[in-house]
Chains A and B, each alone.
Chain A
């Protein structure tokens, strides 16, 4: 079983700051970033858009088969996605 700890602790390889943006932008931009990343790398999406955290980013991860973790950081969320091969 994959643990969430590495995703929580590991320094992200890339960041996407979409604070102030609403759907579909976080999902579209994250998808674009992930395409350019290598397997094993972690993307951190920083957002304050609750629906992106509730619905669209988890949907993206489930479709791609990528594990993810959500960390609350003050007013924003850090949504970390591990790209797997």
Chain B
């Protein structure tokens, strides 16, 4: 099926808006220190669900926004399910490898890119490892994987509406089917996310009352921009104004939930802008990361797209998603530079660089097996009202858990 553009903007405007969206993604993720892996490691290291709760809220808000746009007839359902991938064993295995590698290396695909742009050499190494991992996947795994996909071995043999939850649940893509499914998907995610955050904060409150007020950030008041004890003499309205001003002036990072809301709106913005152009939703940080390896080799006369599996069937060299990734990096660099946070940082423990490379290779293999990363597949798929995101979430959590246990032994 060929999609018809919902809105008749020019291609130049489409590219521009995708670029803007990428810039916002990089800027907000950098200012909010948004990391999917970190949200998961903190569950296993400290039993803290605050940031994981934020992730669930992100998925819920995204599903709610896109689902309602379709349910109320503003965007046709085909735009929502068109890019749903085939589900299969490879998403579970790939997301597990990805979670394990990302937790070892120190960043998911989103945080790898914005931190690499903020001067973290560890994440440059991870990015390079990911390129090599993509090549290993392409020559060693993809031929076998594509065979299982074509023959339906532990895999569905079609994506699209077959994996669209309104169709799966109601055998319909009517507005009402989409509306009910949106509620079924979004509301539990939102409630669970809020519940987990409240539970964690209540635990923090109990700890403070049990251990005494010395628990609060003692001595932090001397440091600008740090969350020190609240001053009871300042009215809350005034304090909020001051916080907002500090955030605008880049003196203070964005809070987790503020970042969550902006990122969800950014994804919904991409959905609207891209409706009808077939590439909507695909915030492809992993494919482009892997494809940069292809670009690097081109000046040496090596053209992977002519003779190497996966590369010869992957997406065009330059498309709006590539621009989005580039603008993500520019947005992150701008935010870190303007806030004074940019600095070339090399880990003192050189062993960490080797771990970063190995972790990056696993990230490259994992994301390609899973047909996408935590952004392009997991987060996106919640907005697509598919079920691949749930599979990815389970696999990634298991991989991160294993990496935390392995790190404890290293």
Interface residues of A (CB under 8 A from B): 1-4, 7-8, 17-25, 27-29, 31-32, 35, 48-51, 53-56, 58-72, 75, 84
Q: What's the nearest-Cβ distance from chain A to residue B309, in Å?
A: 33
- A50 and B211 contacting across the interface, CB-CB below 8 Å: no
A56–B341 CA distance with the chains assembled, in angstroms: 17
A-B contact pairs, 11 of them (CB 8 A): A20-B347, A20-B352, A21-B122, A22-B107, A24-B35, A56-B42, A63-B200, A63-B203, A63-B207, A68-B217, A69-B220
Enumerate B227-272 residues with CB–CB distance to A below 8 Å.
227, 253, 256
Q: A51: which B residues are within 8 A, CB to CB?
A: 33, 253
- A19 and B348 contacting across the interface, CB-CB below 8 Å: yes
- A55 and B33 contacting across the interface, CB-CB below 8 Å: yes
Beyond A23-B107, A48-B345, A60-B48, 11 extra complex contacts between A and B, CB < 8 Å: A4-B214, A19-B347, A19-B348, A20-B121, A20-B122, A20-B348, A20-B352, A27-B41, A29-B407, A56-B38, A58-B227
Q: B227: which A residues are within 8 A, CB to CB?
A: 54, 58
A56–B107 CA distance with the chains assembled, in angstroms: 14
Number of residues of chain B lying within 8 A (CB) of chain A: 54
Whether B343 sits at the interface, judged by CB under 8 Å, is yes
Interface of B is mostly: helix
Q: What's the nearest-Cβ distance from chain B to residue A17, in Å?
A: 5
Assuming the contacts A21-B347, A54-B253, A70-B226, asked whether A4 and B111 have C-beta atoms less than 8 A apart, the reply is: no
- B47 and A1 contacting across the interface, CB-CB below 8 Å: no
Q: What's the nearest-Cβ distance from chain A to residue B208, in Å?
A: 8
Q: What's the nearest-Cβ distance from chain A to residue B388, in Å?
A: 25
A20–B347 CA distance with the chains assembled, in angstroms: 4
Q: What's the nearest-Cβ distance from chain B to residue A27, in Å?
A: 6
Assuming the contacts A19-B348, A58-B227, A63-B48, asked whether A24 and B38 have C-beta atoms less than 8 A apart, the reply is: yes
- B219 and A70 contacting across the interface, CB-CB below 8 Å: yes
Q: What's the nearest-Cβ distance from chain A to residue B260, in Å?
A: 14
